[in-house]
Structure 1
């Protein structure tokens, strides 16, 4: 018994990746905590929606999201998307900003309705906490209405997700690329011009977008895991039979928990 007490005192403090030990028959069993980050993409029209590092919004908007997990339990969910349409002013309408490209009510629990391409990263407890802090701050702005989903300002899923991870000091690819916009969208979102395969100077503006971000993830970390939440619709190769809504506090899919890591980002 005395030996057991000594062992308990030796491991009484929680370390970065350890919980308090269990003592059985005078043997210490240190239980390791596992923390990971998953960055996901709905980018299922690559052949037609993404060429020359340019995402064509006329074909697909795409979607990017992330969530963190501790010991199989989802801690933070971040899936930023629209929750309604905008009410543009006359001035905005004259500038080509409509109910879809304007300032729209938003949510950070936007459902995933397509096949997802997932990248899984090992992170530390400190990073898990930092991500939650930044995501919660952003979520408060969304709930209060201070933060909108605004396509013409590029306040969209990928750009916002990248900002939150940056603020939490999580290093990811830049995500920047060019965009081809639907007719009527604000003029400063424009595609680059090319002559003989070379980009014409002073044309095109670069923005973080799901397809460019995914392309950079793939080049840096390799092939993603393809996740089909509850299967695909009959006759469809990308649309889910049941939408995937990530909820904090629930258990992550066993399939995702068993995925290997693309990289170790822990610091």
Structure 2
């Protein structure tokens, strides 16, 4: 098990959610509704719903909003959403996976294809890039829960497979711990970690790249614009990529 990694290829830039709080509430509520409809409306009996509720709590979604989404689903109310995955390439040949929940496949496909084509990328067929990723469970904690050794020990005890820690460098970058686990062990490992580290900031299914692609300064700005455009779409839930942007490039981009 690795204790530290410099990978910064998971989802989008840190802090991007702050500017999209309202939209994020809607996306999280949609995931809760879908999870509750697919299984039991009790988070303790439905691992996917529990993960969705934990993610919503981590983003400070009001309890009333969470319960309302669960209640609507249990009564069979609300829109019926379909899970869709899109795969393609961004600037610099970066592999990108887009996961969406939609009630209109044509609308979502058009929006995603347009985002790629207008921002230096191209949309491919399903399976075009996912072979270069591994489907895993991801449990996220802020850096403040403890140092690398503490989190590594807790992860080992809980049965996790790997840990990537970035201890940050101050208030603006407080760091984070990313704990990776097999998909079928996500629920159990998250429960065990709660006993020693408290409630996680995020518990989700994720795509982890086998290899990362370093992005040049010329391509970085366009790539980040593509990711922002995708994330701003109401139907898009998550965006994953195998990119790694050097710190000095990120600093120049602000």
Range of TM-score over shorter length = under 0.3
More helix by share: 2
Structure exhibiting the larger radius of gyration computed from Cα positions: 1
More strand by share: 1
Greater RCO structure (CA 8 Å; 6+ sep): 2
